[in-house]
Amino acid sequence: MSKFDEAVELYASEMKDKMGITPNDELLRKVTKGCGPSIYRADASKVSSSDPEELARVKNNFLIKKLGLSESDNLDGAIEEVIEKMGKSNRNKYRAIFYYLLVQKFGKESIYG
């Protein structure tokens, strides 16, 4: 099994076991692939929800640039909702899962079509 497949499997089991969400495997694979090499680095593979600069990067680089959303879409509220869904005390907020949940929240699955 490739490192990529292992990562996707880890994210899918995290979602099922810890969050009670059954992911769309195809979308999860595409979102994970979109994260690029960051999924292979321990620090970069996770979103630090306690770091305002990190959350600003998620908002600007992912939500605005990648998904084409605007400030009027309540981006901060959506990020906060994902943090709640993943668990505030959960130290392993994997970037691929974080992005997957944001893609679903805004119905932007077609970007990964």
- Residue 15: which CATH number? 1.10.238.120
What's the pLDDT at 110?
96
42 DSSP β-pair partners: none
- Kindly report, residue by residue over 12-54, the tens digit of the pLDDT: 999 999 999 999 999 999 999 999 999 999 999 999 999 999 9
Q: What does pTM read for this prediction?
A: 0.96
Say if residues 27 and 112 touch (Cβ distance below 8 Å).
yes
Asked if residue 113 has pLDDT above 90, the reply is no
Specify the number of domains making up the chain: 1
What's the pLDDT at 44?
95
What's the pLDDT at 71?
87
Give Cα 9 to chain centroid, integer Å.
Answer: 15
Residue 101, amino acid: L
- Kindly report, residue by residue over 54-65, the tens digit of the pLDDT: 999 999 999 999
Burial class of residue 6, CB neighbours in 10 A (0-12, 13-18, 19+) = exposed
What's the pLDDT at 72?
87
Show the domain range for 79. 3-112
Least confident of 27-31, 68-72, 97-101: 68-72
What's the pLDDT at 20?
95
Choice between 72 and 33, residue whose per-residue pLDDT is larger: 33
